[in-house]
Amino acid sequence: MLLSIITVSRSTGWVADTWATLADQTVPFEWIVVVAPGASSSELPDDVRVRAVALDAWRGDGDAWARAAASARGDVSAVFHPGDLVESGALAAVAAHFETSSVGFVVGDFATDAASAVGFASNAVNTHALTFAEVRFRGMPMTAVFGGELGAATLAHLHTTPRGLPAWRTDVYRALGGFDVAVSVGAVHDLVCRTYLRAACRKTADVVVATRPGFETNADRRLLQTACGDGSNPHYPSAGQPVPIRDRHLHAMVERDCDLARLPRYDIGGGIFGAPGWKTLDVSGAPDVQWDVFGTRRLPFADASVGAFRAFDFLEHGADLDAFWLMDEIHRCLVPGGWFLSYTPHASGIAASCDPSHRSRWDERRFLYWCSPQLRPFLVSAYPEATAEFEAGRLFVETRVMGPAPWRFETPYLVADIRKPPATTTTNPTRSVTFSDASI
């Protein structure tokens, strides 16, 4: 098996240290380095395993990574970021996972210096997805950052996405369409998300690389955060604003989570316009489950039995005080780590009041009473029996055009995707987790 290690870089001053950790790997490999305009390939080692690919112009991440992959000759292609170091035997460990023919993608974990690990923890939106341990990496004391299992919560944010040598079987990479050349920044993250949706993936908690600070410029970091992690406004958390790569894939990844876990997902109020692939629950239309949610004040499901709920244009049909018991019911029925996806007319817009059947007004601040520890005392004060606690996955306002022609109008809608916290478990940092049911 030949491994193609691909790197895209705007400079090559880091190459000597990195090559020292690649050169002693024991499996056949090639290293393809795409050198951006203005950088020199003269510092690359004179070795038959190393090839440089020059870019005539910088057209963005997607184009650069796609060119690197197009030059690859290996059975497996692995992304290797500039400045990273490779653990002894790491390539052999990665190759071993691909001996199982059904596995299309493998990713491990990484180590970094202590200060960077602290920064990682502070930036991570879902801090439960990360665990840390002191390790020795090629004899150096470092902090290992163990990412969570692959899934919607982990892949929704750049900071919780595993970064240890993500590797694709070549035929799987091609079936996925490869890197998206239209993605200007965050193309690797985008491809990992798309891979999770279609391929059999293996997440191994082995520490395979070490990252070193200083190889990304502030401008690069801001672009990555805008595309994948923290949004464009540094004073507003990513849950409270659109972040394109997350928003492109999140709902599909929630559906994938449910399918892999063999868990049902229900579209509440979807009896007339239900979402494809979701079972519907409604009092009207032709739902899979005929049920009057607001009339019964409960959901007809056992505790911790549902992977996800979807509620589009539904919440506003209940009274304001219905929010208390409804959020508790949704929380009760969801498995730990399950999602509640909602899309609701925002309280500030005409869509919240023009329909005479609407009885309540929703905005992002209302959801925070179930998502913010600081606001929870006020929730419990008003509703002492409250049990629901959620994490904010997405919570922001967007503009929607609606209404029949010629009376079309723009109105704000609330995007609120929240998650029941996962169960607290003691993890084994050497475990491997395989996700099957690949479609390619």
Nearest alpha-carbon partner for 243 in 159, 121, 363:
159
Q: How confident is the model at residue 122 (pLDDT cuts 50, 70, 90)?
A: low
The rounded distance, in Å, linking the Cα atoms of 394 and 46 is: 48
Predicted pLDDT at 159: 72
Predicted pLDDT at 231: 61
Nearest alpha-carbon partner for 289 in 312, 314, 259, 268:
268
Cα distances (angstroms) measured from residue 290 to each of 297, 311, 328: 14, 15, 21
Per-residue pLDDT at 119 exceeds 50: yes
Domains of the chain: 3-235 (3.90.550.10), 261-419 (3.40.50.150)
Q: Report which of residues 123 and 327 the model is more confident about.
A: 327
| 303 touches 333 (CB < 8 A) | yes
Cα distances (angstroms) measured from residue 407 to each of 142, 234, 353, 403, 413: 62, 38, 16, 6, 18
Cα distances (angstroms) measured from residue 29 to each of 6, 32, 70, 72, 196: 10, 10, 16, 10, 25
Q: How confident is the model at residue 351 (pLDDT cuts 50, 70, 90)?
A: very high
pLDDT, the chain, mean: 88
- Residue 305 carries which DSSP code? -
Residues 136, 138, 144, 145, Cα dihedral to 10°: 180
Per-residue pLDDT at 331 exceeds 60: yes
Per-residue pLDDT at 221 exceeds 60: no
pLDDT more than 90, % of the chain: 62
The rounded distance, in Å, linking the Cα atoms of 43 and 399 is: 50
Predicted pLDDT at 433: 42
Render pLDDT for 134-175 as a digit per residue (tens, 0 to 9). 989 998 899 988 877 899 988 887 777 888 999 999 999 999
- Residue 431 carries which DSSP code? -
Q: Which H or E run includes 228?
A: none
Predicted pLDDT at 216: 53
Please compute the mean of the pLDDT values over residues 395-402 and round it to a whole number: 92
3-state SS class at 20: helix
The rounded distance, in Å, linking the Cα atoms of 275 and 266 is: 9
| 322 touches 312 (CB < 8 A) | no
Residues 147, 150, 155, 160, Cα dihedral to 10°: 0
Q: Can you tell me which residue has the tokens 């010629």?
A: 406
pTM score of the predicted model: 0.91
- Residue 362 carries which DSSP code? B
Nearest alpha-carbon partner for 264 in 154, 342, 339, 156:
339
Per-residue pLDDT at 286 exceeds 80: yes
| 191 touches 66 (CB < 8 A) | no
Render pLDDT for 9-42 as a digit per residue (tens, 0 to 9). 877 788 888 999 999 999 999 999 998 887 777 8
Q: Report which of residues 145 and 265 the model is more confident about.
A: 265
